[in-house]
Amino acid sequence: MTINQTLQKDLVQALAVLAGDTPARLRFSEPMDRHTSFRIGGLADAFFEPASIQEIDQALSFCKRHQIPCTIIGNGSNLLVSDLGIRGLVLAVGDSLSGIERQDNTLLVMAGTRLAALAAFAARQELTGLEFASGIPGTLGGAIQMNAGAYDGCMQDVVRQTQYLDEDLNCRYMTGEEHQFSYRHSVFSDRSTVILRAHLELNPGTYAAITARINDLAERRRQSQPLELPSAGSVFKRPPGFYAGKLISDCQLKGLCIGDAQVSEKHAGFIVNRGAATARDVRRLIEHIQAVVSAQTGVRLEPEIKCIGDWPA
């Protein structure tokens, strides 16, 4: 069901009960290219940035009641949003729902907190274990959902407990192995749940050593990744025994363009938006890469980025 004008009014009212400034955080016909690191995406029928768990609950209950589809996003850094946009409500768990508290060596972190801010906070607190996350441009919620990782670390190493809303909007907790973390996957990857906050366990370290490590990793990223152009990071998961970027490069696909979408010259595992790329351009480039790599090497590349929204049949 799309959100007609009556439903728009009802939704504004339902959310305004909770916070006086709700309309500013609730917008209609919102361009999704403002909310993705690719700078690509059509209009979302409605877009809401909740500032409390109660607001998430309220928004999701409304959608359930009116059979409106709801899409959860974080910082949009692992997403390809269709040019046709997203029907229903987009719930963006981001800056409005961020915050960090320390209890001994554990950090209690809200899902919308950005990983860079989190890693910087941990460094100031002289807690080590989150340096790997400092250059990943996502939120805690998005990172737990897909067990984001870089260099020698991933979320699995630090997440001890996660609070989330299940499919029936019950608030629940997941602990330790229940997360079923594996490479770029967690139990949340297969479920329509909303991650709300998490307990991360770190170890004592020194500010100097932690920041030295963060600076070193940032420099390695600057050297190897096309950070100057919009992208969604590595497009494909690492196939067992191979590196996606090397396979793509070996197939002479570096620099290949479809429209304004280009296989990065700097890192063939990235597709970059050279200015006016459409989601269709990116999707066609992904399919072309998959076909060429499969034909030349026999390896099937599986996308890491998530395609969301309304795609043409």
Ligand X SMILES: Cc1cc2nc3c(=O)[nH]c(=O)nc-3n(C[C@H](O)[C@H](O)[C@H](O)COP(=O)(O)OP(=O)(O)OC[C@H]3O[C@@H](n4cnc5c(N)ncnc54)[C@H](O)[C@@H]3O)c2cc1C
Indicate which single residue of 85, 138, 269, 309 sits in contact with ligand X (rule: CB under 6 A).
138
Query: Any catalytic annotation for residue 219?
Result: no
Query: 184, 197, 213, 283: which one is catalytic?
Result: 184
Please, what is the minimum distance in Å from the beta carbon of residue 121 to ligand X? 17
Query: Any catalytic annotation for residue 234?
Result: yes
Please, what is the minimum distance in Å from the beta carbon of residue 267 to ligand X? 10
HEC profile of the chain: CCCCHHHHHHHHHHHHCCCCCHHHHEEEEEEHHHCCCCCCCCEEEEEECCCCHHHHHHHHHHHHHCCCCEEEECCCCCEEECCCCEEEEEEECCHHHCCEEEECCEEEEECCCEHHHHHHHHHHCCEECCHHHCCCCCEHHHHHHCCCEECCEEHHHCEEEEEEECCCCCEEEEEHHHHCCECCECHHHHCCCEEEEEEEECEECCHHHHHHHHHHHHHHHHHHCCCCCCEEEECECCCCCCCHHHHHHHCCCCCCEECCEEECCCCCCEEEECCCCCHHHHHHHHHHHHHHHHHHHCCCCCECCEEECCCCC
Site string for ligand X, 45-84 (x = CB under 6 A): ---------------------------xxxxxxxx-----
Query: 77, 234, 264, 283: which one is catalytic?
Result: 234
Is 264 near ligand X (CB under 6 A)? no
Query: Any catalytic annotation for residue 192?
Result: no
Which of the stretches 148-156, 175-183, 197-205, 289-297 binds ligand X when contact is defined by CB under 6 A? Answer: 148-156
Is 233 near ligand X (CB under 6 A)? yes
Please, what is the minimum distance in Å from the beta carbon of residue 6 to ligand X? 28
Is 41 near ligand X (CB under 6 A)? no
Q: For residues 9 and 172, which CB has a smaller minimum distance to ligand X in the complex?
A: 172
Where in the sequence numbering do the catalytic residues fall?
Answer: 184, 234, 304
Kindly list the residues in this chain that would bind ligand X in the complex (CB under 6 A): 37, 72-79, 93, 111, 136-139, 141-143, 145-146, 148-150, 188, 194-195, 225, 227, 231-233, 306
